[in-house]
Chains A and B, each alone.
Chain A
Amino acid sequence: MTTPSTAPLLQLRGINKSFGAVQVLHDVDFAAHAGEVTALVGDNGAGKSTLIKCIGGIYPIDSGAVLFDGAPVTVQSPRHAADLGIEIVYQDLALCDNLDIVQNMFLGREHKRYGMLDEPSMEHLATTTLAGLSVRTVKSVRQKVASLSGGQRQTVAIAKAVLWNSKVVILDEPTAALGVAQTRQVLDLVRRLADNGLAVVLISHNLNDVFEVADRISALYLGRSPATVRTSDVTHGQVVELITTGRYAAVANGAQS
């Protein structure tokens, strides 16, 4: 789990982003490696959401470079991000309660045959995708999403993101509203995504979660990126200090990026 990847799959260099007079991101650097979970931590207002919206093509960046698989790209729209293989699972999930799991997973990208929906192929792919993620808690993929628990809904949202041969999956606070057992489920799933070779970015306020699954931790502090550290090199206390002050008392080998 600590195999150091050579080049990051997704790399951001010197990103600046302002809304009017307010500069939200200052020269932010960020990297996500295939096969690793990179946690993005920071206090409220540190710029986490803005950063992922820039990655996802919702906000254009003012300056800086985005490299995907080593090549510079300009992400123009959410659809473009999806085409590159970048999927974002939002905190508020964006699932339709009145549709079933299959319908949600393929929403907007339905399989068709002769102009009609190809339900069997979608149901088959949804079933195998969930099985590939070792998800065994849902009873039927034809269940309405409204009947699922919070953890199951999160699972569906994540499965939806990996369905499209995505290479980078960004999870915005996936465990924020979940109980202990459900958090467990989702964290296991997050780990599994990385083990399957995806670059996973986990945004979380919960340092227990972060320390449990993340390989690296990137901190944002007031719109700047003071440090990226290996999880194994730091303690809880140091990360808290990083989040709240933007620096941390150096432990001999801690500082690297």
Chain B
Amino acid sequence: MTAETTVTETPADRGTGAVGVYVRDYLGRLRGGDIGSLPAVGGLLVLCILFAVLRPSFFSALNFANLFTQGAAVAVIAMGLVFVLLLGEIDLSAGFASGVCAAVMAVLMAEHGAPWPIGLLAAILTGTVIGTVLGYLVAKVGIPSFVVTLAAFLAFQGAVLVIIGEGGNVGVHEPVLVAIANGNLPVPLGWAVYVLGVLAFAGVLLADRRVRRRGGLPVEPVGVLGARIATVAVVTGAAVYVLNLERAVNPAFRSLKGVPIVVPVILVLLILGTVLLNRTSYGRHLYATGGNAEAARRAGIPIDRIRISAFMLCSTLAAIGGIIAASRANSVDPNAGGSNTLLYAVGAAVIGGTSLFGGKGRLRDAILGGAVVAVIDNGMGLLGYSAGVKFIVTGSVLLVAAGVDALSRRRAAATGRG
């Protein structure tokens, strides 16, 4: 190849100061059907305003903190589901898998006297093993994931019953485990984590930008970069501030303030998972396999291994979700991970913008969608609606989200975007 010095139009038409061009590009992508998580963000805002107007106590510090602990388990399971959904597969057993893992942990500790780190590790390992088996059946044996995980859904429901035994309920009283969903970070530590987090976020964005600029590649306008960092800093700062307010009904009796411990737990999982998906070749191969498995195969990607690993990650995260749920309830009962857990988790991932058709979705979508589901559940509870009405509304929201996904795909096909 001759060393021509002609350059494509890329770098030129996106100058460093061209915020306008950037915004126009973004709007163009939106019109083309590439809407990302916009519906989820919009929906979340509308719901919050609606509930705040109808029931002002929705915006109390106490309820705000409750939202996090209520939604945490589902959000973590939803994050796991994103890996499987990215391949265009589904894991219907994630809910009960979380129950099985939590039951293993609870029984090991309560009936066999295992120390909590062993219990925790056993639960997580159980999740990994479950995922490996599911993934093997899907990738190597070739059974559709819908059937494999539907069978597992039923079997795991039974497994929880068998592990828990006739007693009906196994308590989880180990202080460390109980603290996961019920404890709060001390106020100064909360702020310290916040400051470090925002600095790290800004640092990563700026470092990326510097490397790109040094390589002569087009970079984001400074304005957009600044706006992004400022938005994150302000929104999370406000959340930390509210969570650090006194929210006990009777502070003299027992003070209650600080960022719930589940928040940093979820953040760590989110960051690790996002790095895995966006910054490693494994993540790239996962997206490729979900987008066009044949192309991925021809590129030399071991698509069977990718499939199995996605199910492993999904069930492992489900195990962590199960531990959080057990921690919140202080026990594991025969219906752990049952009833609406799975549907809320799938709903969270899809509402957040993960495509059921594979190849499109991000981990933070699961968190966003999980927030929508938690807000509906919590807000409608505050308004005094029955569980029945809550299910109907959540189901409708899921349907709307899946509809938005399907429509944006059609729109994308029509305008030639994906």
Residues of A participating in the B interface, judged by any CB pair closer than 8 Å: 78-79, 90, 92-99, 103, 107-110, 112, 115-117, 119-121, 123-124, 127, 129-136, 138-142, 144-149, 162, 196-197
Query: Smallest CB–CB gap between B66 and chain A, Å?
Result: 37
Query: B7, B291, B416: which has the most chain A beta carbons within 10 Å?
Result: B291
A-B contact pairs, 11 of them (CB 8 A): A78-B300, A95-B292, A96-B287, A96-B296, A98-B291, A98-B360, A103-B287, A117-B284, A131-B6, A131-B8, A146-B416
Query: Smallest CB–CB gap between B272 and chain A, Å?
Result: 13
Residue contact A116 to B299, C-beta cutoff 8 Å: no
Residue contact B8 to A107, C-beta cutoff 8 Å: no
Residue contact A94 to B299, C-beta cutoff 8 Å: yes
Question: Please, which residues of chain A bring their CB within 8 A of the CB of B287?
Answer: 96, 98-99, 103
- Apart from A99-B291, A117-B280, 4 more pairs, CB < 8 Å: A96-B359, A98-B360, A147-B417, A197-B1
**Chain A CB within 8 A of B418 CB:** yes
Question: Please, which residues of chain A bring their CB within 8 A of the CB of B32?
Answer: 147
Within 8 A of A (CB), among B192-210: none
Question: Please, which residues of chain B bring their CB within 8 A of the CB of A123?
Answer: 212, 215, 217
Residue contact A144 to B417, C-beta cutoff 8 Å: yes
Given contacts A117-B281, A124-B215, contact A107 B6 (CB under 8 A): no
**Chain A CB within 8 A of B294 CB:** yes
Give B281's nearest chain A residue, CB to CB: A110
Given contacts A107-B288, A110-B284, A120-B217, contact A138 B296 (CB under 8 A): no
Given contacts A97-B359, A133-B1, contact A108 B291 (CB under 8 A): no
Residue contact A98 to B418, C-beta cutoff 8 Å: yes
**Chain A CB within 8 A of B10 CB:** yes
A120 CA to B296 CA in the complex, in Å? Answer: 22
Give A120's nearest chain B residue, CB to CB: B215
Q: Is the interface of B mostly helix, strand, loop or mixed?
A: loop
Residue contact A96 to B288, C-beta cutoff 8 Å: yes
A117 CA to B13 CA in the complex, in Å? Answer: 26
A129 CA to B3 CA in the complex, in Å? Answer: 9
Given contacts A97-B291, A98-B360, A147-B417, contact A115 B7 (CB under 8 A): no
Given contacts A124-B215, A144-B417, contact A108 B1 (CB under 8 A): no
Give A118's nearest chain B residue, CB to CB: B211
A124 CA to B10 CA in the complex, in Å? Answer: 11
Residue contact B416 to A107, C-beta cutoff 8 Å: no
A103 CA to B275 CA in the complex, in Å? Answer: 16
Residue contact B280 to A141, C-beta cutoff 8 Å: no
Q: Mark B275-293, 1 if CB is under 8 A from A, else 0.
A: 1000111001101101110
Q: Mark B2-22, 1 if CB is under 8 A from A, else 0.
A: 111111111101100000000
Question: Please, which residues of chain B bring their CB within 8 A of the CB of A98?
Answer: 287, 290-292, 359-360, 418
**Chain A CB within 8 A of B271 CB:** no
A57 CA to B175 CA in the complex, in Å? Answer: 61
Question: Please, which residues of chain B bring their CB within 8 A of the CB of A162?
Answer: 1
Query: Smallest CB–CB gap between B3 and chain A, Å?
Result: 7
Q: Which 6 residue pairs across A and B have the least CB separation, nearest first?
A: A146-B418, A108-B299, A98-B291, A98-B359, A96-B291, A94-B295
Give B4's nearest chain A residue, CB to CB: A132
Question: Please, which residues of chain A bring their CB within 8 A of the CB of B416?
Answer: 146-149
Question: Please, which residues of chain A bring their CB within 8 A of the CB of B412?
Answer: 146
Q: Which of A115, A120, A148 contacts B211 (CB 8 A)?
A: A120
Query: Smallest CB–CB gap between B8 and chain A, Å?
Result: 6
Give B216's nearest chain A residue, CB to CB: A124
**Chain A CB within 8 A of B256 CB:** no
Residue contact B298 to A94, C-beta cutoff 8 Å: yes
Residue contact A196 to B284, C-beta cutoff 8 Å: no
Q: Which of B215, B275, B285 contacts A108 (CB 8 A)?
A: B285
